[in-house]
Amino acid sequence: MSKKYDVYGIGNALVDLEFKVNDQFLYDHKVQKGLMTLVDEDTQFRLIGAIDSGDLNRKSGGSAANSIIAVSQFGGKSFYSCKVSSDEYGDFYLKDMNDAGVDTNLDGKEREGGVTGKCLVMITPDADRTMNTFLGATTNLSVNEIDENALKDSQYLYLEGYLTTSETGVEAMKLGKKLAEANGVKTAITLSDPSIVQFFKEKFVDLIGASVDLLFCNEDEAMSFTGKDNLMDAREAMKSEAHKFVITQGSNGAMIWDGDTFIDIEPYKVKAVDTNGAGDMFAGAFLYGITNGMTYASAGKLASMASSKVVSQFGPRLKWPEVQAMLHDLK
């Protein structure tokens, strides 16, 4: 029997505010380049006030949300469990998700007061992205945000590693994984960020448990999680953590373990202008592929194509015509 949703995601709900800055700006404001750092609202407002807002790009975001939107853009059916407040940013977030074709647990529901989370994404001329995040309402994402019926009616559950920073977020992921395993829904997780793996590794180990069906990470995250100092050793160690996994390698493409063999995914050479959302796009395109009849190799090719396209432009999303062109090129 076919499922209503291809992918059901649980993750942070953040309105992404993207700006172009230079390295001197990061240095002057004591911002750690290339990492995601949690900040309070005052710090975020101070940084926003110091930036020329002429280049502002505003989108609904959060790592898993970007992936879930990608699934929908490629023609899949997706659902997202998240938490936003009853403020202007919360209104914007849900409308943007619905416009992207994503169903959520908050559709038609009354929301609590408070402040919707925002992620200040600063893009430097070398295309690197640095994020300062005020979590706001999403700090309190919990088991209450899970829609059990929608989860049971999905092929895959996709969990965002950033949620390991919150105790209630961890509980939500654990319940989601338990419900998925009890109802024949496969579980995928992303390690999200090297600093998150470093500081919350024990929570990842506890969450993954015996194993997960599919794990996404980049090279640094793979080595940090396995405690290995080179990629070859790390990928061997990953076999005991996940039945199948994807390690993205930036401009070098990706490698996929399909449970039997490693598949090397060639990169598409582009001039990178903004790496924000590249890993999210890879995961979303890959999940779309494997839930819609593609082999792991074909899904990897689509994901590589999509992520290379997204880094060649400003913002973490593709335009609809670009998505359709990619699907046509794969045929």
Q: Please check the confidence at residue 329 and state whether its pLDDT lies above 70.
A: yes
Give the global pTM: 0.92
**pLDDT tens by residue, 160-198:** 999 999 999 999 999 999 999 999 999 999 999 998 999
Q: Assign 53 a pLDDT band (cuts: 50, 70, 90).
A: low
Q: Please check the confidence at residue 116 and state whether its pLDDT lies above 70.
A: yes
DSSP letters spanning 85-117: -SSHHHHHHHHHHHHTTEEETTTT----SS--E
Contact between 88 and 94 under an 8 Å Cβ cutoff? The reply is no
**pLDDT tens by residue, 243-285:** 999 999 988 999 999 999 999 999 998 888 777 788 999 999 9
Average pLDDT, the chain: 93
d(CA 246, CA 57): 29
Looking at residues 46-68, what average pLDDT do you find? 86
What pLDDT is recorded for position 82? 97
Q: Please check the confidence at residue 210 and state whether its pLDDT lies above 90.
A: no
8-state DSSP, 34: T
Q: Please check the confidence at residue 212 and state whether its pLDDT lies above 70.
A: yes
Enumerate domains of the chain plus CATH numbers: 5-13+62-115+136-330 (3.40.1190.20)
Looking at residues 56-73, what average pLDDT do you find? 92
What pLDDT is recorded for position 274? 75
